[in-house]
């Protein structure tokens, strides 16, 4: 039976690395963050840390907390026609989780990636994405995403992967998780 997995975690926790491991295993990835980045570009806005957060908050305020999830569902269903597993990268809110859970019921599960706050900040500085910014931007983003219910998602996740090790070891954890899911 085909499955949908949504990965969540605080900024810099390793959601993208988890997605990369699954992508390397030919699992299609649908990124919620890519939707926001595309919206920022479509509006011709300057790609600065606060802009991404403002656009995400504006979309949610105007169209509902579940707007990104609703927009994503049909694409995921298309991918499920040809794939046993589809990953939604960047689940951030309880409203989004409710949409996915209602849509796919028992074929839906969540994975939380957990990493220490300081380690997450160091990773964000190293990756240098335009939406990341400095310490203040990091803290503002943490607060905004907690406001959408991210901490609830993390605590209620079906699976939790700790990302407190070197990258190769974390990737091995992700691969082992994937193997369990595909063979379970």
Does 181 map to a domain?
A: no
Look-up: residue for tokens 């900024």? Answer: 11
* Dihedral, 40, 41, 45, 51 alpha carbons, nearest 10: 30
CATH of the domain at 75: 3.40.50.300
Number of domains in the chain: 1
Residue-level pLDDT at 100: 97
What is the longest distance spanned by two Cα atoms in the chain? 45
Does 93 map to a domain?
A: yes
Phi/psi at 44 (5° precision): 70, 30
Residue-level pLDDT at 57: 86
Beta carbons of 70 and 99 less than 8 angstroms apart: yes
Q: Which domain holds residue 87?
A: 3-175
Phi/psi at 151 (5° precision): -65, -35
Does 184 map to a domain?
A: no
Q: How many Å apart are CA 13 and CA 121, to the nearest integer? A: 9
Q: Mean pLDDT by 10-residue block, N- to C-terminus, for the chain (184 residues)?
A: 94 94 97 88 87 88 92 95 96 93 96 95 83 82 86 96 96 97 87
Does 180 map to a domain?
A: no
Q: How many Å apart are CA 14 and CA 167, to the nearest integer? A: 9
Residue-level pLDDT at 63: 94
Helix (H, G, I), strand (E, B) or coil at 43: coil
Beta carbons of 117 and 68 less than 8 angstroms apart: no
Residue-level pLDDT at 62: 94
Does 57 map to a domain?
A: yes
Strands (DSSP E) found in 84-156: 85-91, 108-114
CA distances to 6, 33, 98 from 113, in Å? 11, 16, 19
Q: How many Å apart are CA 35 and CA 171, to the nearest integer? A: 25
Does 141 map to a domain?
A: yes
Does 153 map to a domain?
A: yes
Does 182 map to a domain?
A: no
């Amino acid at each position: 039976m085909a499955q949908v997995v949504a990965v969540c975690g605080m900024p810099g926790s390793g959601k993208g690395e988890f997605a990369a491991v699954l992508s390397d295993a030919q699992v299609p990835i649908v990124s919620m963050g890519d939707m926001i980045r595309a919206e920022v570009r479509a509006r011709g806005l300057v790609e600065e840390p606060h802009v991404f957060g403002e656009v995400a908050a504006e979309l949610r305020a105007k169209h509902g907390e579940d707007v990104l999830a609703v927009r994503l569902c049909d694409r995921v269903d298309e991918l499920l026609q040809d794939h046993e597993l589809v990953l939604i990268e960047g689940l951030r809110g309880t409203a989004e989780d409710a949409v996915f859970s209602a849509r796919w019921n028992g074929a839906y599960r969540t994975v939380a990636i957990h990493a220490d706050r300081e380690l997450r900040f160091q990773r964000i500085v190293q990756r240098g994405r335009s939406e990341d910014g400095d310490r203040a931007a990091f803290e503002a983003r943490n607060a905004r995403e907690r406001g959408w219910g991210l901490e609830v998602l993390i605590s209620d996740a079906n699976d939790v992967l700790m990302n407190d090790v070197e990258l190769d070891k974390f990737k091995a954890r992700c691969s082992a998780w994937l193997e369990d899911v595909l063979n379970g």
